Amino acid sequence: MESKLQVCQQYIRTLETSLQEEMARHAPLYGVGVEALSMDELETLANIHEQSLRQIHAIQQRKGSSHPLGGSSLAHIPGLFTSPPSMSVGLPSSLSPTSPIAPNGAGIHGNGRATCAASPWFNPT
């Protein structure tokens, strides 16, 4: 029984470490720690956000939205710019069981299983 407990505790420590590494890797996407990024990483991050905005605009046009996102209108949408998740306090809200998106971009299916996307967000090559 003692050995099973030790194995489980080690597994929990491994999961905690993996989670912290994953959160640290994706923290800049939430606006955390961006001051520590290199110029190349900052450019990549800016491109990610610009591409996302273009996708949002395209989706809105397809759906015939009368309120396209853009410019200063983004700041007036409640909940769009919430404070970034804290790296030292608990899990980001995106890890809650009711959230369909995990912080690494993996989707959570209705059966609770996640689609994995374990690659780092910044690929220097």
Query: Which pLDDT tens digit goes with each residue over 74-99?
Result: 544 444 444 544 444 444 444 444 44
Q: What angle do CA 55, 61, 67 make, to 5 degrees?
A: 100
Q: How confident is the model at residue 66 (pLDDT cuts 50, 70, 90)?
A: low
pLDDT of residue 36: 84
Which residues make Cβ contacts (< 8 Å) with residue 84, sequence separation at least 6?
Answer: 27, 30, 31, 32
Torsion of CA 36, 40, 42, 45, to 10 degrees: -130
pLDDT of residue 26: 85
pLDDT of residue 4: 95
The pTM of the full predicted model, rounded to 2 decimals, is: 0.38
pLDDT of residue 96: 40
For 37-51, the pLDDT digits (tens) are 889 989 998 999 999
Q: Which of 10-14, 22-26, 38-42, 63-67 has the lowest mean pLDDT?
A: 63-67
Domain boundaries, the chain: 2-95
